[in-house]
Amino acid sequence: MKNIIELNNKDAKAFFLKSSSYCKLELPQYYKFENVLKGVGKKMGKNSLPHFFATNRTKSKSFRPQDFDEVNYMFLNNKDGKYAWRPFQLIHPAIYVSLVKTITQKSNWDLIVNRFAMLHSNPKIRCLSMPMLSEDRRHDQVSSILNWWENVEQKSIELALEYSQVVHLDVTDCYSTIYTHSISWALHTKAVAKPNENKKSLLGNIVHEHFQWMSNGKANGIPQGSALMDFIAEIVLGYADEQLGQFLDANGITDYQILRYRDDYRIFTNSNKESDAIIKFVSECLAELGMRLNAQKTVISNDVIRTSIKEDKFFWLLHKNYSIQLDKQLLIIYNLSEKYPNSGSLVKALNAFYRRLLKVVKTPKNINCLASITVEIVSKNPRVYPVASAILGQLLTLQNDDQDKLEHSIMSKLSSLQNNGHLQVWLQRMSLKKPLQMVYSEPLCKVVENPFSKIWESSWLNAEMKQLIEKNPIVDLEALGKMDETISPKEINMFEY
């Protein structure tokens, strides 16, 4: 696997324009964004995006995207099954392609790569969350997950040989609080960027303008949901790393090691005094960029090995059992979901259960119990929507008697969940060959029913570019027609490839 900054500008551009880079949210395989992105890029050519702004004839000037609402498509996803909502966004294709073209222009890309070399020059502060490119058939996100295991968890365990204490820090709502002017500070240094805030040719200012286009002119927050946004977040967080290293050097603190994976910090020290000082400096560096630490997620521990592995992983290693009856296995998974909601281990456990369920031929006697437990897990764990939809679909297939009654009970419970658009997407996939008793209100579902349904607000574009986007479907109808009734494990588990 390759780090994104190891690529040349052309390969980096190709990486960012992949469908899986544009949208990291788990969607059925028939959603494909490459065609609309390539179409926009071809149409744009060497022109800048304002060349395609529509003319406002009443004011004799061009429309601006920041004067329109819902330029990006926002998709609310629940973080904890309760009250914490995370907005994922599908960035307007014209703005997204324009931003990709801007940062991957050779001179700009060279500037960014050279700047990252400086931001990452302190060997005691390691960034381990740069977007990764798979060099084989595996999904790029698999490379990122393997990178987490090899360079974060395993490295953390190794550091127990050198350090007696570890501090875990987390940034509160990182992406939504990033001050977009700080992108320019990170790229050019604050000394250069501040006096040149109005210089339109400065790369940082051009990037900042793109964010204003997609967010009603606001200067706070970047969208979440794409590899491009992860990359830009790393520019700002890398700048915070650089500032932190300078603070620590100036105060004579040298006995430490910091591993940062996006907005999560692991700080290894040998004394409370050094830990407290580093926490203070991290807070100050982040505050300058409009961010703050989540006090509730701050953990200080002298058990470096134990806290290096996520608690849900430890729990599942001790409790998993694939040889017992299906209902007992699912009850153990239910217990896991109650102790560690929305965890990676929960997704892994349900995937294993689904693979086992696919081998069942006869209708289980307790099939309604299996459905009830699965629905209960779904209602509190949005992260499991894809695999849970697959499980429910298979249970309905196995139910020979009163299938309509079971389906009605499942749909009644699931339709009552708030902001369940992502779940609707997967229930629609589950029911392609056997329609459910459900009306889909989610716009991404309507695109499957009518490929030319509107997703993005494009009234600020001229007629030609607007029509290109609206007439370029994001659903691959050929792939849609080839979908099997049963959801394949490969569709919901990237490690199956």
pLDDT of residue 58: 72
Contact (CB, 8 A) for 247 and 278: no
pLDDT of residue 86: 77
Q: Are residues 155 and 10 in the same domain?
A: no
Domain assignment of residue 215, yes or no: no
- The domain in which residue 451 lies consists of 1-118+443-496
Q: Specify the range with the lowest mean pLDDT, choosing from 350-359, 435-444, 457-466.
A: 435-444
CA distance 472 to 2: 31
How many residues appear in the chain?
Answer: 497
Domain assignment of residue 198, yes or no: no
Whether residue 59 is predicted with pLDDT greater than 50 in this model: the reply is yes
Domain assignment of residue 108, yes or no: yes
What total number of domains does the chain contain?
3
pLDDT of residue 229: 97
Q: Averaging pLDDT over each range in 53-67, 346-360, 393-407, 427-441, which range is the top one?
A: 346-360
The predicted-structure confidence for 210-237, as pLDDT tens digits, reads as follows 999 999 999 999 999 999 999 999 999 9
Q: Are residues 285 and 328 in the same domain?
A: no
Domain assignment of residue 160, yes or no: yes
Whether residue 415 is predicted with pLDDT greater than 90 in this model: the reply is no
SS3 288: helix
Give 446 or 417, the one with higher predicted confidence.
Answer: 446
Q: Are residues 292 and 166 in the same domain?
A: yes
Q: Are residues 259 and 239 in the same domain?
A: yes
Q: Are residues 298 and 169 in the same domain?
A: yes
Of 261, 286, 309, the residue at which a domain comes to its end is: 309
Q: Are residues 133 and 280 in the same domain?
A: yes
Residues 6 or more apart whose CB falls under 8 angstroms from that of 445 comprise 421, 424, 425, 428
Q: Are residues 400 and 470 in the same domain?
A: no
For all residues of the chain together, what is the average pLDDT?
A: 92
The predicted-structure confidence for 88-129, as pLDDT tens digits, reads as follows 999 999 999 999 999 999 999 999 999 999 999 999 999 999
Domain assignment of residue 190, yes or no: no
Q: Tell me the mean pLDDT in the region 360-381.
A: 94
Give 400 or 391, the one with higher predicted confidence.
Answer: 391
Residues 6 or more apart whose CB falls under 8 angstroms from that of 272 comprise 165, 300
Give 446 or 79, the one with higher predicted confidence.
Answer: 446
SS3 307: helix
Q: Are residues 158 and 279 in the same domain?
A: yes
Whether residue 281 is predicted with pLDDT greater than 90 in this model: the reply is yes
pLDDT of residue 497: 37
CA distance 428 to 422: 10
Q: Are residues 338 and 457 in the same domain?
A: no
Domain assignment of residue 432, yes or no: no
pLDDT of residue 321: 82
Whether residue 271 is predicted with pLDDT greater than 70 in this model: the reply is yes
Q: Are residues 267 and 411 in the same domain?
A: no
Whether residue 138 is predicted with pLDDT greater than 60 in this model: the reply is no
Of 287, 309, 331, the residue at which a domain comes to its end is: 309
pLDDT of residue 83: 63
Q: Are residues 12 and 125 in the same domain?
A: no
Q: Are residues 166 and 279 in the same domain?
A: yes
Alpha helices, DSSP H only, in 74-131? 93-103, 106-119
Residue 231: CB atoms within 10 Å? 20
Of 378, 401, 417, the residue at which a domain comes to its end is: 417
CA distance 92 to 458: 8
Strand order in the sheet with 165-170: 125-127, 257-261, 264-269, 165-170, 299-301
Domain assignment of residue 39, yes or no: yes
Domain assignment of residue 46, yes or no: yes
Q: Using CB atoms within 10 A of its CB, is residue 176 exposed (0-12), middle (13-18) or buried (19+)?
A: middle
Q: pLDDT grade, residue 247 (50/70/90)?
A: very high
